[in-house]
Structure 1
Amino acid sequence: MRYFESGARRLGGDRDVAKNGDSARIIVVDDEEHLREMVAEYLAGQGFDALVASGGRALDALMAEALPDLILLDVNMPEEDGFSIARRLRARGKIPVIMVTAADDVVDRIVGLEVGADDYVTKPFDLRELKARIRAVLRRTDGAAQPAANGRPIHIAENDMLIPFGKLMVDREGRRLTHQDGTEEPVTSMEFDLIEVFLANPYRVLSRDRLLELAHRKNDDPFDRSIDIRVTRLRKKIEEDPSKPQTIKTVRGAGYIYSPPKRVP
């Protein structure tokens, strides 16, 4: 096994891993050594390229070497909590994050969604369920982290299909939002699922229940996939004035409606 500085370690690196959907690079971040070792050993046994980090600094050391495909991030850690780390990660780009929260801690789940987590699991959790959630997030995000533009434009090919969405553009094939100059606006996989639903249903009033049904897996807890939270986050990104939305409008007592700009012949 190869060791990294700042409490970071790699598992499964000394054996050949089949080049399939399970060979993704995953970092398990948790201050509880026995837990992160157990999870990482299991994931390595399932064919993932598993790494471990004891906190934010250890995670930064690993990410300086290579971006992961997904990060499993504990919320409660002494030096820097998971929410703070998640905010930093979201500022860097579309790095999928699954938060690990205390059982039945509703506040943690809400904050996790607000900082842009792609999913969450609660302690104690079944390792098989964790693997299933990891696979689901990787499928939604194409299994690859996308670095943030950091002021540098991400060049878009002329033949790419871009769709206006508020003040931004939607790259459906790349599952991303971009500004007019090509710089990328970070968006979570669940936010993009909601964008897809709106694009497919222009000028149609959709209730919250209907949006949940269309945008999320059937076994998700509706509360933890709050449409209101997600719509608020999208408005902050796409609306010129989020307090007076013109693209995703609220229909009082009914739900939301997507109003794309009328095209002039």
Structure 2
Amino acid sequence: MNTVLVVDDEAKILDIVKSYLEKSGYRALTAGTGKEALAALRSNKVSLLLLDLMLPDFSGEELCRKVRSESDMPIIMMTAKVDEESIIRGLRIGADDYVTKPFSPRQLMARVAAALRRADGPSSGTGPGEGRNLQRSFPRILSWEALSADTGNRRVTKNGATLPLTPNEYKILILLMSRPQKIFTRDEIIDSIKGDDYDGFDRAIDSHIKNLRQKIEDDPRSPRYILTVYGMGYRFGGEDGL
């Protein structure tokens, strides 16, 4: 049974979301502050975090950064901030998805299920069309220069050191490495790694790419691995990628 931690300072939201999670077959934990959330994370094996951005002791963004520095669990932000920049900032610091308040509990459950499916790994094949075929055809080992990915163990290393990638960063990297020199549009990346259950916008992909470059590139401002093809999308920089 997957355990979901819900962090929000509104008791009513905690009660509603917990009830829907339990009806959907999850073990649900709740926390009303950032400190309570950290204590719950340290004492439980949490599979997914539902995180409000506005907490009484410290911000959801701060908690997201801390969790992401230690774990690649899916993080879905729950926020009343509906402007695009706030959402992009949340994605940039490590969130995998977001819902804006007020939200439909049924939609939230669908997003929880989708995030957990994506976290299961590339072999689950969540995307339609070419993306789904790609998910099934990844070689076990993908490597170029100092970068190597073991898709069986979901482990990415650079010069032998394991890189702490989020689930979306991992899937984007594996997708690009699987077809070196192919230019992937933002829509293709969204379709391939997220599937029909994702209704985000293409700038979210740019945020994930920026975060990924910070982790894999020697100089993120002059990338060698993930290259931007202006007006088109992104491609992996290896000659053959394998």
TM range (shorter): 0.7 to 0.9
1:123 is matched with 101
Q: Any runs of at least 4 consecutive aligned residues in structure 1 with deviations exceeding 4 A, and if so which? A: 261-264
Task: Rate the CA distance shift 1:29–1:161 in 2: closer, same or farther, 3 A.
Answer: same
Structure 1 unaligned segments of length 5 or more: list them: 1-22, 144-159
- The CA deviation at 1:221 is 3.5
Q: Which deviates the most, 86-95 or 96-105?
A: 96-105
> 3-state SS of the aligned residue for 2:196?
coil
1:232 & 1:166 partners in 2: Cα distance? 20
1:97 & 1:88 partners in 2: Cα distance? 12
TM-score by length of 2: 0.83
2:193 is matched with 215
- The CA deviation at 1:207 is 3.0
1:171 is matched with 150
Aligned pairs (5 A) from 1:1-265: 23-102=1-80, 104-142=82-120, 161-164=140-143, 167-181=146-160, 183-223=161-201, 226-260=204-238
1:36 & 1:73 partners in 2: Cα distance? 11
Aligned 8 A contact 1:99 1:112 in 2: yes
1:166 & 1:77 partners in 2: Cα distance? 43
Partner letter of residue 124 of structure 1? P
Partner letter of residue 169 of structure 1? S
Q: Which deviates the most, 96-105 or 222-231?
A: 222-231
Q: Which has the larger radius of gyration?
A: 1
Partner letter of residue 51 of structure 2? L
Q: What value does the CA root-mean-square deviation take over the aligned residues? A: 2.4
- The CA deviation at 1:99 is 0.6
Task: Rate the CA distance shift 1:245–1:38 in 2: closer, same or farther, 3 A.
Answer: same
Partner letter of residue 236 of structure 1? Q
- The CA deviation at 1:222 is 4.5
Aligned 8 A contact 1:167 1:239 in 2: no
* Count of residues paired in the alignment: 225
Structure 2 unaligned segments of length 5 or more: list them: 122-138
Q: Kindly indicate whether structure 1 or structure 2 has the higher relative contact order, using CA contacts under 8 Å at least 6 residues apart.
A: 2
Aligned 8 A contact 2:6 2:30 in 1: yes
Aligned 8 A contact 2:227 2:234 in 1: yes
Aligned 8 A contact 1:110 1:224 in 2: no
1:166 & 1:229 partners in 2: Cα distance? 25
Could you give the per-residue CA deviations for residues 36-90 of structure 1, whole angstroms, max 9, x where no partner exists? 1221122112221111011111012112212301110001112111110000001
Percent identical across equivalent pairs? 36
